[in-house]
Amino acid sequence: MERTLIADCAERIGETVKISGWVKTRRDHGKIVFIDLRDRTGVLQCVVTPDTENYEELKRIRPQWTVDFQGIIKKRPEKLINQDLKTGSMEMEVKEFKILSEAQELPIDISADELGLHLETLLDFRNLTIRNEKVGAIFKIYAEVLRSYAEYLRSQGFVEIKTPKLLSASTEGGAEFFKVKYFEREAFLAQSPQFYKQAAVGSFERVFEIGPVFRAEPHFTSRHINEFIGLDAEMGFIHDSNDVMDMLEESMKHILTDVKKNCQDSLKLYNSDVEIPEKFPRIRFSEALDILRKEFGKEIEGNDINPEGERLICQWAKKKHGSDLIFLTNYPWTIRPMYIMPDPENPRETMGFDLLYKGVEISSGGQRIHQYEQLVENMKKKNLNPEDFSSYLEIFRYGMPPHGGWGLGSERIIQKILGLKSIKEAILFPRDVRRLTP
Amino acid sequence: MERTLIADCAERIGETVKISGWVKTRRDHGKIVFIDLRDRTGVLQCVVTPDTENYEELKRIRPQWTVDFQGIIKKRPEKLINQDLKTGSMEMEVKEFKILSEAQELPIDISADELGLHLETLLDFRNLTIRNEKVGAIFKIYAEVLRSYAEYLRSQGFVEIKTPKLLSASTEGGAEFFKVKYFEREAFLAQSPQFYKQAAVGSFERVFEIGPVFRAEPHFTSRHINEFIGLDAEMGFIHDSNDVMDMLEESMKHILTDVKKNCQDSLKLYNSDVEIPEKFPRIRFSEALDILRKEFGKEIEGNDINPEGERLICQWAKKKHGSDLIFLTNYPWTIRPMYIMPDPENPRETMGFDLLYKGVEISSGGQRIHQYEQLVENMKKKNLNPEDFSSYLEIFRYGMPPHGGWGLGSERIIQKILGLKSIKEAILFPRDVRRLTP
């Protein structure tokens, strides 16, 4: 008999079907055994009675065993309907079964609605904890973010590219690169596809990439991670950084709209209501400092806005503009990389921006310098040696249009949509300073 | 004035529009200058006459400068229509222009239909060569392969996942791993997402991943590369490896059908006609050896079929079954990894398969062992120490369904569709033993 998915059982009332999945829970009521069976589409209550073939063998069944159940799909009596379950109005009367694989005693219980585990335990037993519906839901939404991002950019004429993650030099400078032994040489893991996506603009004008990004910074925060999936994009023939922000804003709206529409069940598990602002406010970095000073009495030390400042600015944006998202524009020249276009009207500022979402920076971007001479000059001003960037500079010898783009952290979007405490919860098998397993 | 894309100019005959792009070529006919301008949608002939504003400055223009042209779109006289060009029946009479960026003298000519460059030159000047239409077309098809693969698997209930590329151990064994300095420890770059996608089956049943794969083998062939993009998939609750082959076959048909339908212009540049067989033949590995012996007089030395053997088997499949693709099934136990399910009817064979396309293996897959004890036993038979795989073995302690999957090389698909001599042509910025740049 062909397998029927649990979600499709509602259309098979009164029929004998075969379902397959994992035993989520078993409850014994005298001689009757109730088994909640989980497959990728849902959970169904299955009733085993002494009439079931090989009843005694079936009684051995424990959580996480995988089985085929064959039986009749029945409507439950009105008063026994489980309103919390999509399939709560029916059950299977099991006639036959087949054990596909057994499971040892579980080290943790994964059947609860809320696992309530310490982060490290949640990650140590990742093979098991991702089987929990609420944990699994994170990755269904994640897959939707990936799909939606690519779909939107394709609709805008962007070509999907894949660029190398092994580099010959620590291109963007800094000590944040992982070193690789590459045959008899040294190589570095890409910290971003920045230089390659810019080169690709020379051919395709508009490109995007979904790929891993490696950061060797020894962070121990709830929003940093050493390997994550970047959602990058770069576009040519722009007027200025507003074109880039427009495109990023529309991409984010598209993602949030799709998640809201297509992931209702998953969102419900987190009581998450995705709000999509009509327009993301855009304020200058210097204005943000003023707001922090005037509205919150916070004086920012150093050059950049700290995490607390980002939280407060988002609080302000929500209150003032009803928006969970806000662009900070015109970042100071001192804290932006050498390839970001200085503001022609004020060289102490740049055409670089950040996008904040619910208190956290989720994207950094801006207009790039597209003229060779200006780029060399900007490198020198930043005390960088243009010779160290000769391969990158080649791109600008042969006609690059005004262009810009962004890097967007996929996991932070999920973290913020669902209100996850740590970004690590939004990654199947996260890597941090201490963790390289499982 | 807003920019008009060149592909849209056909609908603007008689109107004044602004187009933007790269100068592909300039030809002087007395005082008249013909400029072929390229944007991401096509090439348009633009005519500059002494009537054009700032005519003298415009005459400085050289290949690969980026410009805005404003002018009238006109139909060309019947006898001057360029049949080779989609936009060959029209041209722009340039009225005004703006130079966006200049280009130095080009080290190579990239305007020809056929670049005819040596592979190393093609790759050394990659920033430029990807601007050539024929080279660029490779990556438009590539993007379609990525899109189509994901679309098909999603339609079959697969969840897209992203798994770590930094591993704590060289999980699958062997010396083919790149070592990474990971803070104070050693890590390895993932050679495949094998173990992680299997773990994910425990939650989602059906998963796929599009991501980089790193192979430290010092190959110097036209079909090997040290970093490539793998199209992986894994599915649970299968009957046997035929379910996996069915899914892979349908995925490949979907990809080829989409490429044929959506990439006509790009395919034409390569005179490539994509043939989609109704059914991919499936023959056993041992049958393949017989065919090589009987039909081609080739005796295979060693255990595996060599590249010549793969070519001949594909030749046979084309002649006998009219198919460019063929599955070889039941690979010998000795040459398949420890996680591949042995054939229950013949333990010297496995439920592992390869998929060949036009003479080259593009995919390897099979049913996996899903029982803990059998996996431990199989490791021991292969002289592997189960303790080295303790993290992997954990997955199988807690109920894994019968499952299987594949790894599919995205670049080899493109190489074979277009008949590219080297796989490196199918990668934007390829990495090999000698090459880490640009």
Q: According to the 3-state scheme, what is the secondary structure of B21-44?
A: EEEEEEEEECCEEEEEEEECCEEE
Residues on chain B touching A40 (C-beta within 8 angstroms): 157, 204-206
For the cut 70, the answer to whether the pLDDT of residue B342 exceeds it is yes
Q: Is the pLDDT higher at B219 or at A194?
A: A194
Environment class of residue A220 by beta-carbon count within 10 Å: exposed (0-12), middle (13-18) or buried (19+)? exposed
At A131 the three-state DSSP class reads coil
Count of C-beta atoms within a 10 Å radius of residue A371 = 16
**Distances in Å between the alpha carbon of A287 and those of A47, A125, A330, A349, B22?**
64, 46, 10, 13, 38
Looking at the complex, report in whole angstroms how far the Cα of residue A312 sits from the nearest Cα belonging to chain B. 32
Q: Which of the four pLDDT bands, split at 50, 70 and 90, describes residue A137?
A: very high
**Mind telling me how many Å the CA of A263 is from chain B's nearest CA?**
13
Contact B202 A147 (CB under 8 A): no
Token pair of A287 as six digits: 């204005």
Specify the CATH superfamily of domain B6-101: Nucleic acid-binding proteins (2.40.50.140)
The pLDDT tens digits of the residues spanning B408-428 come to 999 999 999 999 999 999 999
Q: CA–CA separation, B55 vs B97, rounded Å?
A: 9
Instruction: Name the E strands within B195-242.
Output: 206-214, 227-236
What pLDDT sits at residue B174? 56
Query: For residue A173, what pLDDT is reported?
Result: 57
Q: Which residue has the tokens 């207009």?
A: A367
B77, B39 contact by CB (below 8 A): no
The reported pLDDT for the residue numbered B83 is 81
Residue B28 backbone phi and psi in degrees, to 5? -100, 125
For A408-420, write each residue's pLDDT tens digit. Answer: 999 999 999 999 9
Domain ranges, ordered by start, for chain B: 6-101, 128-426
State the residue for tokens 């900007």. Answer: A378
B-chain residue closest to A131, CA distance: B203
**Per-residue pLDDT at A174 exceeds 80:** no
Main-chain dihedrals φ then ψ at residue B344, nearest 5 degrees: -60, -25
Residue A201, token pair as written in the block: 């603009």
Q: Hey, are the CB atoms on B199 and A395 less than 8 Å from each other?
A: no
Contact at 8 Å (CB) between B339 and B294? no
Predicted local distance difference test score (pLDDT) of residue B429: 96
**ipTM of the complex model:** 0.96
Question: pLDDT digit string (tens) for A261-307?
Answer: 999 999 999 999 999 999 999 999 999 999 999 999 999 887 889 99
Q: Is B144 a catalytic residue?
A: no
Mean pLDDT of B122-140: 97
Determine the Cα–Cα distance for residues A114 and A133; give it in Å rounded to an integer: 9
The predicted pLDDT at position B220 comes to 84
A155 CB-near residues (< 8 Å, 6+ apart): none
Please choose, from the candidates A395, A387, A386, the residue with its C-alpha nearest in 3D space to the C-alpha of residue A368.
A395
Å between B195 CA and nearest CA of chain A: 10
Q: Reply yes or no on whether B412 is catalytic.
A: yes
Binary contact (B64, A391; C-beta < 8 A): no
Please report which helix (H) or strand (E) contains residue A200, including its range.
helix A194-204
Return the residue in B213, B246, B403, B429 with the most chain A beta carbons within 10 A, the one to mutate for interface testing: B429
**Spatial distance between the Cα atoms of A40 and A43, rounded to a whole number of angstroms:** 9
Which of A127, A147, A171 is the best residue to mutate to test the B interface, defined by the most B CB atoms within 10 Å of its own CB? A127
Q: Do A397 and B163 touch (CB under 8 A)?
A: no
Closest chain A CA to residue B133: A203
Q: Specify the length of chain A in residues.
A: 438
Predicted pLDDT at B172: 59
Instruction: Look at the block and give the residue holding tokens 């992997």.
Output: B392
The active-site residue, picked from B26, B38, B131, B224, is B224
Task: Indicate the residue of A139, A391, A401 with minimum beta-carbon distance to B100.
Answer: A401
CA distances from A141 to A395, B188, B357 (A): 37, 29, 35
Largest CA distance in chain B: 84
How far apart CA B300 and CA B376 sit, in angstroms, is: 31
As a residue count, chain B comes to 438
Q: What is the pLDDT of residue A169?
A: 75
- Residue in B399, B132, B11 with CA at minimum distance from that of residue A101: B399
Give residue-wise pLDDT tens across range B36-56.
Answer: 999 999 999 999 999 998 899
List helix spans (H) across B338-402.
372-381, 390-394
Out of A135, A140, A399, name the one closest to residue B65 (CB).
A399
Task: Report residue A195's pLDDT band, with 50, 70 and 90 as the boundaries.
Answer: very high
pLDDT value, residue A436: 87
| pLDDT on residue B88 | 85
Closest CA–CA distance from residue A13 to any residue of chain B (Å): 23
B6-101 shares its CATH topology with B128-426: no
Q: So what's the pLDDT on residue A175?
A: 61
The pLDDT of residue A424 is 97
Kindly list the residues from chain B whose CB atom is less than 8 angstroms away from the CB atom of residue A22: 202, 399, 401
Q: How far is B43 from B367, CA to CA, in rounded Å?
A: 49
**Segment A162-169 mean pLDDT:** 92
The pLDDT tens digits of the residues spanning A23-57 come to 999 999 999 999 999 999 999 999 999 999 889 98
pLDDT in tens, B391-405: 999 999 999 999 999
Say what percent of chain B tops pLDDT 70.
99
Q: Which residue, among A3, A24, A203, A427, would best test binding to B if mutated, counting the most B CBs under 10 Å from its CB?
A: A203
- CATH 3.30.930.10 for the A128-426 domain, yes or no: yes
Task: Mark yes or no for CB contact B428/A196 under 8 Å.
Answer: yes
CB contact under 8 A, A180 and B166: no
Distance set, CA A361 to CA A171, A225, A307, A413, A416 (Å): 23, 14, 9, 10, 10
Structure tokens at A175: 């000590």
Q: What is the pLDDT of residue B170?
A: 57
CA gap A80, A77 in Å, rounded: 5
**pLDDT band with cut points at 50, 70 and 90 for residue B183:** very high
Q: Hey, CA dihedral for A132, A136, A138, A141, is it positive or negative?
A: negative
Q: Sorting pLDDT into bands at 50, 70 and 90, what band is B175?
A: low
Q: Which of A246-255, A303-312, A348-357, B229-238 has the lowest mean pLDDT?
A: A303-312
- Show Cβ contacts of residue B68 under 8 Å, excluding neighbours closer than 6 positions: B3, B18, B19, B20, B97, B98, B100
